[in-house]
Amino acid sequence: MDSVLNTASAQLAGQLENHLQTIYPAIEAEAITQLVSDLISIMRLGSVEQVPVPYQNHWSQQDVIMITYGDSLYRADERAMTTLHRFLNEQCDGVINGVHVLPFFPYSSDDGFAVSDYYAVRESVGEWQDIQRLSAEYRLMSDLVINHGSGESEWFQNFIKGEGPGHDYFFTASPDEDLSDVVRPRTSPLLREVQTSVGLQYVWCTFSHDQVDFDFRNIEVLKEFVNIVRFYLDQGVNIFRLDAVAFLWKEAGSRCLNLEQTHEVVRLLRVLIEYASPSAMIITETNIPSRENLSYFGNANEAHCVYNFSLPPLLLHALITGQNFYLKQWMMSMPPAQDGTAFFNFIASHDGIGLRPVEGILPDSEVDLMIATMQDFGGHVSWRALDNGEQKPYEINIALFDALQGTVKGKDGLGEARFLCAHNIMLALEGIPGLYLHSLLGTRNDYERVKRTGHFRSINRHQWDYSELEQLLADETTHHHRVFKGIKRMIAIRAKQKAFHPNATQFTLHLGTQVFGFWRQSVDRIQNIFCLNNISAEPVALSLSDLNLISTQDWSDLLSGERYDDLQGSIELAPYQSVWLSNR
């Protein structure tokens, strides 16, 4: 046993040393050795029993992660996290087994993404015991807001004073440096002037001026975040969402996006997390063009999952135009995720519908058409600055239920069918589904919240009174009831199908412009499911012979229960109808 322990420990130390030498090439060997020792000590990995097994899938078709703020549901008589836990246990019927609780820490802006204390739970949400209780029953995803911290935090106040914890954690630059190539998702100035104890300094703010970027050139910043990871693991966190990680490393004269040191930091964190908790996962939040996003898989040695950021805008475009060309073209270009990695599929989130992920996929004219349609449906547009001073649309801010209330021709009476079709597609695709709470509930645009906060993203961040929500979900006449019931039914069916494993085979079908179809096959090649989706407002007749179904097998629709014995016949698809045609 001692030799096994020594081998595993030696391999861990060797991996950490290699990553650190790449991140910090100027640091002397002795200092790297000490840093390795420090990281192992922080993560409590002094005696490692085994080396993590590579290419392991820590997920199955039964996994669905609900995305929500900790206080999206509230009751006057209990903490918000208790109410969230109640909703999952009482209303979700066991169909949800994971939950991403968006930043539940004290913060100063951006609804939690300007963290002022990484080691505390916001009082309005609950306390660490609530987090621990939730993680005992559900797989828990937490944000690691790793790129920036609050301008009102104790760390930043110490930066201003020039002493105390965090005083050297923040990135500074000179306005005289060449920063013309820096890629940013905002229009505010990149550098913020700050009077400090040593004079005027310019801190780097990729996002808002209240979100000041950390300086990972300082090894103390790396050690601090490794300590935060260890602390979160102790609280029951199983999935780490690395927020805005693509911007982590900065170098003047570069784009300051996706730099090699950034990838190396992700690899380092994966090593530490896998040794500490073999079933824990990393998911990178990189709202950037598709090819760049996929790079965070590495060679199955970086993120376990990457957000499938191109899916929301492309699926929205397909459903409002009734044409699948761009969605299908993109899907055919997507490489299958190798074992040990998976796509994280979502079609709505607390942020808007990002437009950067369709750069090079959707022509500008189609993006403009989509934007105009969403504005007609009550949505807003957020912008980003280009290096030439111009602005470009960055994301559309709208609740998904409202986004799908019509087509480019205007609103119609097919919104619910279109909305459910979108979720049928998302749940059937290769990958792990992430389901935003407000999509599950069919929440509408919250104009009052936008007015109150002054931020467009608030349109899709409604807070529900739990008693009111219970009444709506119980009332069969409401769209909330119908949507909630319909999506839960899809999830329950999905969980039983081996062909819907996140890594099961997927091929795109060519069935005309109105039918978006794809074929899934289980890893053992026993189950086949043909996922057929009419994405148009017109009925479509589809010939079964086009699918080349094996005639000796029994075929039926998992969603409707209808059997198909005549394989030379046809399927009549109503507007926005989905069929999961399975041989088992």
Q: Which residues are catalytic?
A: 243
CB distance 218 to 171 below 8 Å: no
CA 570/CA 542 separation, integer angstroms: 5
Q: Going by C-beta distance under 8 Å and a sequence separation of 6 or more, which residues neighbour residue 154?
A: 116, 117, 164, 165, 166
Backbone angles phi, psi at 516, to 5 degrees: -95, 110
Please return the burial class of 410, using the count of CB atoms within 10 Å of its CB with bins 0-12, 13-18 and 19+. Answer: exposed
Strand pairing of 380-385 and 391-397?
antiparallel
3-state secondary structure of 442: coil
324-342 burial, b for 16+ CB within 10 Å, e for fewer? bebbbebbeebeebeebbb
CB atoms within 10 A of CB 544: 17
| Of 112, 121, 228, the residue nearest 169 (C-alpha) | 228
Q: Which of 449, 322, 450 is nearest to 380 (CA)?
A: 450
Strand pairing class (139-145; 98-101): parallel
Listed in sequence order, the residues at least 6 apart from 100 whose beta carbon sits closer than 8 Å to its beta carbon are: 65, 66, 67, 68, 141, 142, 239, 241, 434
Close Cβ partners of 537 (under 8 Å, ≥ 6 residues apart)? 322, 407, 412, 414, 575, 576
Q: 76 vs 73, 82, 111, 472, CA distance in Å?
A: 10, 11, 21, 18
- Give the H/E segment covering residue 345: strand 342-345
Alpha carbons within 13 A on the beta-carbon side of 483: 27
